[in-house]
Structure 1
Amino acid sequence: MIKLKSNKQIEKMGEAGKLLASCHQALKKLVKPGITTLELDQFVENFLLERGATPAQKGYMGYQYATCASVNHEVCHGLPNKKVLKNGDIITIDFVVDLNGWLADSAWSYGVGTISKESQRLLDTAKKALYKGIDQAQVGNRLGDIGYAIQSYAEKKGYSIVKEFIGHGIGRRIHEDPQVHHIGERSTGTTLKEGMVITIEPILNVGMPYITMKSDGWTAITFDGSLSAQYEHTVAITKEGPIILTEQA
């Protein structure tokens, strides 16, 4: 069941979103060669706790960390660890903020030091694909319009889209209805209504769209070892248009 949010509830989610966005802004300065993903994870947890919030992922379905940290060919749900990031790596950091019982969710991909032109093009395209999807998050449009916009743009640029991992509704729980696919056909799927709050979070691969899982049971990686990147925002559907609750300054 899709749970529509009132303006007041969206405002509360927006407060969580602003905190999340400010944490990502701080992370930008920390993502450098020599740091570990575990250190970044600990920074995020402390950042949130110091501001009266909690990392909603920690403890969710047994997950032990405040963030997911996925490096290079890791598609998503990478486990923070003590491996040092190297110049030229790309990393996606994904986390959910719980502030006074209301949640916001955002993933962002970062280049570590100086990255290749291929990596930068992937990041630029993945980010643009996200915003192409957000542009379609209008009252009266349908979820297929979001998926179509993302898919058509990404594939035109030569990238594939991971189909197994999708966006979702969000509110007091991390995952609510509806499911938000990043591929689709125009004018299909659930109609978007005022008060819906969803995540849009496409994952683009340089190579094939297929994935496999690491033995840790969490980390998804590209089947062919190609690079992967993801950007995600939490978006409220309003009569004035989509409002990005996790937009960075």
Structure 2
Amino acid sequence: MTINHEDELDTLKEIGRIVANTMQTMAREMEPGMTTGELDEIGRALLEREGAVSAPKSTYDFPGATCISVNEEIAHGIPGGRVIAAGDLVNIDVSASKNGVFADTGATFRVPAVRPSQDRLCRDGRRAMQIGIAQVRDGRPLSGIGQAIGAFAAAKGYTLIRNLASHGIGRSLHEYPTEVATWPNRDRRRINRGLVLTVEPFLSRGGIWATGGKDGWTLYSEPAAPCVQYEHTVVATDRGAIVVTMPG
């Protein structure tokens, strides 16, 4: 999607606020002993109350309103009977549509008590996303996102999952530009003013690829290693990026 009018931006900001508020509320309500299914039900009810439609459910018939991935699960975890425990790393990914416009956000949260190494990984994962967002500007190459994130990851001794990419979004959950790499790459496409896309690096302590499990949805790190993901939906301008997935 390319934003051409202020009312389009307002519509995008509305669904961006909804998914951000939903994710943050789920994170606040999360506690040891709760199942991922119970956490997902909180998200489903919040989206429904706002008149929003779960994007993974409507687009892919995903068996949940949100994606909740715990520890060894790095993406697309199916909410269900898994019990959240103290010390877990829990990724909550919320995407939805309203009035025909989609937004997508995600973050990895720590369930106290956590180890210092988990704190560092989460802090650096969020920083990697912010570094990628800083490259979003009219006229710049899309490859700049992955080049900047890759330099940061290498300097800190991390790896990046190389088959889970950022993507265009707006009129659908995944659209042009598809497969926006968040690792070093040679993408020759350029960012245009008004372009709507996600920035969502998967930062790991050794993982390189995402591999599928038996349920057909959940993805795991290969080699097995801790991994975090942080994601915003942004709009490119000639002054930088507007982050639309902000709570409010």
Range of TM-score over shorter length: over 0.9
1:4 counterpart letter in structure 2: T
Equivalent residue, structure 2, for 1:204: 203
Please, what TM-score do these two structures have when normalized by structure 1? 0.94
The residue correspondences of 1:110-121 to structure 2 (distance < 5 A) are 110-121=109-120
For residues 131-154 of structure 1, give each alpha carbon's deviation from its aligned partner in whole angstroms, at most 9, with x where no partner exists. Answer: 000000011111111111111111
Q: Distance in 1 between matches of 2:34 and 2:188?
A: 43
Residue pair 2:16, 2:246 contacting (<8 A) in 1 also? yes
Equivalent residue, structure 2, for 1:4: 2
For residues 227-246 of structure 1, give each alpha carbon's deviation from its aligned partner in whole angstroms, at most 9, with x where no partner exists. Answer: 11100000001123200000
Where does structure 1 differ by over 2 angstroms across 4 or more consecutive aligned residues?
A: 59-62
Equivalent residue, structure 1, for 2:103: 104
Q: Distance in 1 between matches of 2:60 and 2:18?
A: 24
Equivalent residue, structure 1, for 2:244: 245
Equivalent residue, structure 2, for 1:184: 184
Q: Distance in 2 between matches of 1:50 and 1:210?
A: 37
Q: Which runs of 5+ in 1 are unaligned?
A: none
Q: Percent identity?
A: 34
For residues 41-98 of structure 1, give each alpha carbon's deviation from its aligned partner in whole angstroms, at most 9, with x where no partner exists. Answer: 1110100111111211114223121111111121211111111111100011112121
The residue correspondences of 1:134-153 to structure 2 (distance < 5 A) are 134-153=133-152
Residue pair 1:31, 1:110 contacting (<8 A) in 2 also? no
Equivalent residue, structure 1, for 2:47: 48
SS of equivalent residue, structure 2 residue 24: helix
Count of aligned residue pairs for this structure pair: 246
The residue correspondences of 1:59-70 to structure 2 (distance < 5 A) are 59-70=58-69
For residues 190-243 of structure 1, give each alpha carbon's deviation from its aligned partner in whole angstroms, at most 9, with x where no partner exists. Answer: 111111000111111112313322101111111233211100000001123200
- 1:163 deviates by 0.9
Equivalent residue, structure 2, for 1:20: 19
Residue pair 1:205, 1:229 contacting (<8 A) in 2 also? yes
- 1:185 deviates by 4.8
Matched, 1:133 2:127: no
SS of equivalent residue, structure 1 residue 139: coil
SS of equivalent residue, structure 1 residue 123: helix
Q: Distance in 1 between matches of 2:53 and 2:73?
A: 25
- 1:118 deviates by 1.1
The CA RMSD measured in Å over matched residues stands at 1.5
CA, structure 1 residues 81+16, in 2 after alignment: closer, same or farther (shift >3 Å)? same
